[in-house]
Amino acid sequence: MGKPPNLYAFQGTDELATSLRTYVLDAQANALERHNVFRVGVSGGSLPKVLAKALLDTNNGEGKPEFDKWEIFFADERAVPLDHEDSNYRLVKEEILDKIPAELGKPTVYPIDLKYLDDIQEMADQYEKTLVGVFAARDSVKLPMFDLLLLGCGPDGHTCSLFPGSPLLREHDAWVLPISDSPKPPPKRITLSLPVASHGIKIGFVATGGGKKDIMKEIFDTEEGRQLPCGLINQFAQERVSWFVDYPAIEGVSFPARRGSL
């Protein structure tokens, strides 16, 4: 049995961002030492804004992101053009990529292939091929191992585009899956599968605001919550998972949180 996930709680997003920066830079240092590249998967939602605060505030702690060594992938993406308001690529571009100062270098980014907007199975297959190309042949690597996955948690306990009760949660072979009926709009998306999302060397969740307190209580304090997508990642990845939350998000949660800095 491994150790439980880490739950770090902060007074507000500024404090959260400072510790998230330390966490990301630590993951970067480990990855660069291991293979001189930092492979990161990011989600949409509120995460990119918090991540921008963590990474781009240059007065914020020691060390720097070495973006020219970063390879950025999408933990999930909506099947829309890259300049569409629903695009996670557009969100990450506007919040982070466009704001990176030149001296920090430019990351390599892997967006979805727009040729397949009308065929999301093909879009998922192509994105999986991209991962195969980067993480080595599928036969030799059972699952791609991201150096860091940065994920959000929906009010129903979903993460990436893996929703509670979805048959996609039972998929153990594919690395990337299509979804055509996402309960959160827009309906058509692709997502990392649960085994891939649980396989990151480090997996960081960011959840803030009182709107998250009921689902956080469910995930951390109840047996049913452990079966929700976020709860399943907690179970599978255990101490490789770290949650960065603010106090309102864990009001009433009994699971022990470490308050203050990382």
Tokens of 171: 């998929």
Tokens of 89: 């690529």
**Closer residue to ligand 6PG (CB): 25 or 233:** 233
**Cβ neighbourhood burial of 192 (10 Å; 0-12, 13-18, 19+):** buried
In the bound complex, what is the minimum distance in angstroms from residue 152's beta carbon to ligand 6PG?
Answer: 2
CA atoms within 13 A on the CB side of 112: 35
Tokens of 82: 């890259």
Q: Which of residues 165-204 bind ligand 6PG (CB under 6 A)?
A: 184
In the bound complex, what is the minimum distance in angstroms from residue 34's beta carbon to ligand 6PG?
Answer: 26
> For residue 1, what are the contacts with CB-CB under 8 A and spacing of at least 6?
none
**Closer residue to ligand 6PG (CB): 28 or 43:** 43
Number of residues that bind ligand 6PG (CB under 6 A): 15
**Closer residue to ligand 6PG (CB): 47 or 149:** 47
- What three-state secondary structure class fits 31? helix
Work out whether 87 is an interface residue with ligand 6PG (CB under 6 A): no
In the bound complex, what is the minimum distance in angstroms from residue 44's beta carbon to ligand 6PG?
Answer: 3
Tokens of 144: 């791609």
Q: Which of residues 23-62 bind ligand 6PG (CB under 6 A)?
A: 43-47
- Give CA–CA dist 67/133, Å, rounded: 21
Residues near ligand 6PG (CB under 6 A) = 43-47, 76, 88, 152-154, 158-161, 184
